[in-house]
Structure 1
Amino acid sequence: MYPLSQTLARERMLYAPPMIAAPSVMLIDMPVRHRGGGLALGRYYAIILETDEERAELDRFLDEPRSAAVAPDLLDRRPSAMVADNVLISRYEPPEEGWPWVLVCRWPEPYSRVARDTPGCDMARGCYTMEVFEHPEDLEEHSIALLEQLGTKRGLSIRMLTPRSLSRSGTA
């Protein structure tokens, strides 16, 4: 018996939240025999982590000895504990070279309800969509297209948050 991290997941990488209201993301780089079209870029299993407790739960799950490979899907259908009235778009830079860029969107109830009622449109934890990109230029292009599309919605206010806009000016 081997831990899942040795049999199913070749490597895993935690992407820290870019701001306090955003979740963490765990990407698992799957071994070649388990790769395919259902994975991000055909190779990464992506997991949304909203709390430190969920990260600890996932780590225990991945390290648990088992005789057969098991998908690390224990959080995929768990309802989100985060509540938001606005669309939150979070950009995750690779923590280490060789890992992809990640874009996570947290959709408020009116948007996630439409997704639930649309066949073939699934959201992680009922409110998240995620895109993974090999190159920052692809992420930038996708982000611009997404913002342009959202900009056509009446009554939707868009505000870009960056680490600089979230921190106050001051002296050290």
Structure 2
Amino acid sequence: MDITPLVPHLAPLLHSLYQSTPDYFQLLGSRIPNLSEVQADVNTAFADPRRHMELLHDEHGQLVGSLDYKMGYPQAGDVTINLLLIRQDRQNQHLGREAVQQLEARLPPGTRRVLASVLGDNPRGARFWERLGYTFELDARPSMVWYAKRLGMPLALPPQLGNIATD
């Protein structure tokens, strides 16, 4: 999967992706944003050095999805995935999994936790994150549920091994 940073002049590509995923917006009970709304969101994201929007392309260069995340949010050492969206006709091909695994592999040292929200009533979205090792973190219904994956956490020693230095 190839990843292209989303810069303002590429906002029409994101808009076309949104248009190709009507079920996602229907699940949220909202309409697909128009191009000027997408452009405004991309401009806002581009002005925030912690926020990253990326376009995801397959091996043939075809746009298959987008990833929107924020570094150091809500706390230092956290990364929050705001939206992972895979084009409707390309879902169930492990592209979302690949995008998340690539993101996790390139996170900077010191990243302790990745958070992901599941918007609306979306059990399929919850199962997706759980299969990737994310666990329930916070219920903020009716709008969303948060999942988290802790990274780089040292393994706890069994009690009998934890005191070796003092025995």
Q: TM-score, normalised by structure 1?
A: 0.28
State the structure with more CA Rg: 2
Q: From the two aligned structures, give the one with the greater strand fraction.
A: 2
Of Structure 1 and Structure 2, which has the larger fraction of its residues in helix?
2
